[in-house]
Amino acid sequence: MPREVRLADLQLAIIQVLWEKGQATVAEVREALAPERKLAYTTVGTMLAKMEAAGYVTHRADGRVNVYKASFRRDQVSRSMVSDLAERLFQGDVAEMMCHLLDGCDVSHAELTRLKQLIRDKEREIGHAE
């Protein structure tokens, strides 16, 4: 897997289809994207070929059809893209990023409770590391 994964909008949409399905052909990816994106078969095929060249997906031949699979897990991409966002937009200031997220999103009481628990867990982890 590339160290830093920076997926463009269409690449992310394609990889999400692969995560959901586990593996898919160009036609299956195109069909899954069809409700929101009207893309030509060749567009999806070209994008998958570019993503494979970048190391984001792999394929196997199944007769005359290529079947694609993501090269990495969703959590790996999430971590990489969020870290990149924190660095580029907030200069690594995680607290500032969280302030923007909390101010800009509807957060339920259950989500706030979960966030507090995650913070307590991280404090314990850091405390044990020191």
Query: Domain coordinates of the chain in residue numbers?
Result: 1-92, 93-130
For 5, residues 6+ apart whose C-beta sits below 8 A from its C-beta are 56, 72, 76, 77, 80, 81
Q: What percent of the chain has pLDDT over 70?
A: 96
Average pLDDT value for residue range 19-41: 96
Closest C-alpha among 64, 52, 62, 63 to residue 14 = 52
Which is more confidently placed, 32 or 80?
A: 32
Q: What percent of the chain has pLDDT over 90?
A: 71
**CATH architecture of the domain formed by 1-92:** Orthogonal Bundle (1.10)
pLDDT for position 3 = 60
Res. 80: pLDDT tops 90: no
Average pLDDT value for residue range 2-11: 80
**Residue 130 pLDDT grade (very low, low, confident, very high; cuts 50, 70, 90):** low
pLDDT for position 127 = 85
Cα separation, 103 vs 100, in Å, equals 5
Average pLDDT value for residue range 41-61: 97
Write out pLDDT tens, residues 92-113: 998 999 999 899 889 899 999 9
In 10 A of CB 45, how many CB atoms? Answer: 18
Q: Residue 70 belongs to what H/E stretch?
A: strand 65-70
pLDDT for position 1 = 43
Cα separation, 128 vs 109, in Å, equals 29
Averaged confidence pLDDT in the chain: 92
